[in-house]
A and B are shown apart, each in its own frame.
Chain A
Amino acid sequence: MSEREIRSRLESFLCVRLGAAARPRIDDVHRVSVGRSRENWLFDATWLDGGTEVRESLIVRRDPLGGLLETDRAVEYAVLAALQATPVPAPAVRWLDADGAELGRPSLVMVREPGECDYFVLNGERPLEDRVALARRLCALLVEVHRADWAGAGLGDVFGDPGPEAATVELAGWESILRRDQLEPYPELELALRGLRATVPRSPRTVVVHGDFKAGNVLLRDGEPGTLLDWELAHLGDPHEDLGWITQPLRTREHLIAGAWERDDLLAYYEELSGWEVDRDAVRWWNALACFKTAVMQISGLRSYVEGRCDELYQPTAAVLGTLLDLVDELTGAPA
């Protein structure tokens, strides 16, 4: 969609939401290429509220035609709306176009929060001491997400509580996406499924799982973690799931600092802040599921490409499949 078209659609959209008397105006529309799953447009909106001019910097997240992930904007909207009642620093959400009737594709409009994302800030150019301190604050942010009162915030109305079977439910969900999108047999993933099913852990408690927690989804403001973005994979589940995602071998550069903030440091600090014991075996299972999910996303991306819904030729990479096989090998105890 062109800049002119999105501007026109946004003006009509805001007229409906705010009323024509509010005379909404859209300025400074431009697309940003952050993330691989959604199409993000930044813009400023100005309107009249009881004679007073209101101005907000906003962002609209539109579904692409295809890509790595297919998630529901209505669910993301409901999650963000519910999180406003918690201390979790999630972006304030404004409006939803659930079926894309107004903005062309399913979309949600959020307040644009200040700050910048830096995927690899923990291994960037800052002094080591600062980076370790930041890593600890990011861990504290994850604890804050997990300790949120999801029932009080109404998230039980958005998601089912999987209870102790959270891992089984999550595995089944990703397997169903694999079955939907695979274009050919993947013996690697069949073997991984077999190993994952045989060793599935039970969840000790239900929390809000972010699903893609990383420095790249945290807005840094003056070097401090601010708003946590990108809630499209959020759900209720096992806290070990996020710990497995951030300690998976494929993403160490984003989450760990060699020799200074290792896996054991992260898990121990999480235990200290949360007061919950971390089951290391469960984290290893979730590490393997994280790789499995990544492979399934790549397969979804490949199907999108073949169907002409995205223009990047994804495929499960040797790094992902090789790491997954190693992790499943460890889980199932096969001798080397």
Chain B
Amino acid sequence: MLNPSVIDLLVGVADGLRAEVLEVLEPGPARDQVTAAIAIVRRVARALPGLVPYLLADIDDLQATLALLGVPPDAAAPRPDPGTDGLDVLIAFDLTLRDRIAALAEPDGALELGAPERRILIDLLGRMTERDAGLRLSPWER
């Protein structure tokens, strides 16, 4: 089923909550909860189309950076195929790569951080935060 799409369904839920539920609620905790839920559903709907491109870009960047730092790829965990693997597989793979970067960066990490390595890491982390911001899932991102 392509129509209504997942995005259409989410937007429909948000519209329905606003029109049918929010309007009849008095000010108070219940109304606050529904207001928050509407905002979150709208943010998720907005972020959804960008999620797979975001993950693929992140995975490419993390793998390239690990290679640049001389860390060999994990043969036991091949790169997922976006043609066949689901979103959950992409997310899990991305998290394993982030774990490996975090292990390099942590205070007692294995990597001896000279200036070039630190520069490579800082540049990667800057790109990651920019990508995160681009999804605009948080109400704090403008």
A interface residue numbers (CB < 8 A to B) = 1-2, 184-188, 190-191, 193-194, 197, 298, 311-318, 321-322, 325, 329, 332, 334-335
Within 8 A of A (CB), among B125-142: 125-126, 128-130, 132-133, 137-141
Instruction: Say whether, besides A312-B36, A315-B137, A193 and B101 are in contact (CB < 8 Å).
Output: no
Given A186-B102, A311-B32, A318-B133, is A334 in contact with B118 using a C-beta cutoff of 8 Å? yes
**Inter-chain contact B98/A318, CB cutoff 8 Å:** no
Q: Is there an interface contact between A322 and B113, defined as CB atoms closer than 8 Å?
A: no
Pairs A–B under 8 Å by Cβ, sample size 19:
A2-B28, A187-B98, A188-B105, A190-B103, A191-B118, A191-B121, A191-B122, A194-B106, A312-B139, A313-B137, A313-B138, A315-B137, A317-B140, A322-B126, A325-B126, A329-B118, A334-B118, A334-B122, A335-B119
Q: Say yes or no: B140 contacts A191, CB within 8 Å.
A: no
Q: How far is the CB of A84 from chain B (nearest CB, A)?
A: 34
Q: Does B115 contact A (CB under 8 A)?
A: yes
Does residue B95 face the partner (Cβ distance < 8 Å to A)? Answer: yes
User: For residue B46, which residues in chain A have a CB less than 8 angstroms away from its CB?
Assistant: none
Q: How far is the CA of A314 from the CA of B95 in the complex (A)?
A: 19
Which residues of A have CB within 8 Å of B138? Answer: 313-315, 317
Q: Is B43 an interface residue (CB 8 A)?
A: yes
Report yes or no: B36 in contact with A311, Cβ–Cβ below 8 A. Answer: yes
Whether A335 pairs with B115 at a CB distance below 8 angstroms is yes
Once bound together, how far apart are the Cα atoms of A334 and B105, in whole Å?
14
Asked if B4 is at the interface (CB within 8 A of a chain A CB), the reply is no
Cβ contact within 8 Å between B40 and A313: yes
Q: Which 9 A-B pairs have the closest CB atoms?
A: A318-B133, A311-B36, A185-B102, A190-B105, A190-B106, A191-B105, A318-B129, A187-B101, A321-B129
Chain A residues contacting B33 (CB-CB under 8 Å) are: 311
The CA-CA distance from A311 to B102 in the complex, in Å, is 29
**Distance, CA A314 to CA B137, complexed state (A):** 9
**Chain B residues within an 8 Å CB radius of A188:** 105, 125, 128-129
- Per-residue interface assignment for chain B, residues 97 to 114, with 1 indicating a CB less than 8 Å from any chain A CB and 0 otherwise: 011011111110100010
CB-defined contacts of B137 to chain A, threshold 8 Å: 313, 315
* Further pairs besides A187-B105, A317-B133: 9, Cβ < 8 Å: A184-B95, A185-B95, A187-B98, A187-B101, A187-B128, A191-B125, A313-B40, A315-B140, A318-B129
Provided the pairs A191-B121, A334-B115 are in contact, do residues A318 and B130 lie with their beta carbons within 8 angstroms?
yes
Q: Taking each of A187, A190, A194, which has the highest tally of chain B beta carbons within 10 Å of its own beta carbon?
A: A187
Could you say which residues of chain B place their CB within 8 Å of the CB of A194? 105-107, 109, 113
Q: Are the C-beta atoms of B109 and A190 separated by less than 8 Å?
A: yes
Q: Report B-chain residues with C-beta under 8 Å of the C-beta of A197.
A: 107
Nearest-Cβ distance from residue B26 to partner chain A, whole angstroms: 10
* Nearest chain A CB to B122 CB, angstrom units: 5
Is B98 a contact partner of A184 (Cβ separation < 8 A)? Answer: yes
B40 touches A190 (CB 8 A): no
Residues on B with beta carbons closer than 8 Å to the beta carbon of A313: 40, 43, 137-139
Could you tell me the distance between the alpha carbons of A188 and B32 in the complex, rounded to whole angstroms? Answer: 33
Which residue of chain B has its CB nearest to the CB of A197?
A: B107
Task: Report whether A187 and B140 are in contact in the complex, using a CB–CB cutoff of 8 Å.
Answer: no
Residues of A within 8 A of B139 (CB): 312-313
Write out the residue numbers on chain A whose beta carbons fall within 8 Å of the beta carbon of B107. 190, 193-194, 197
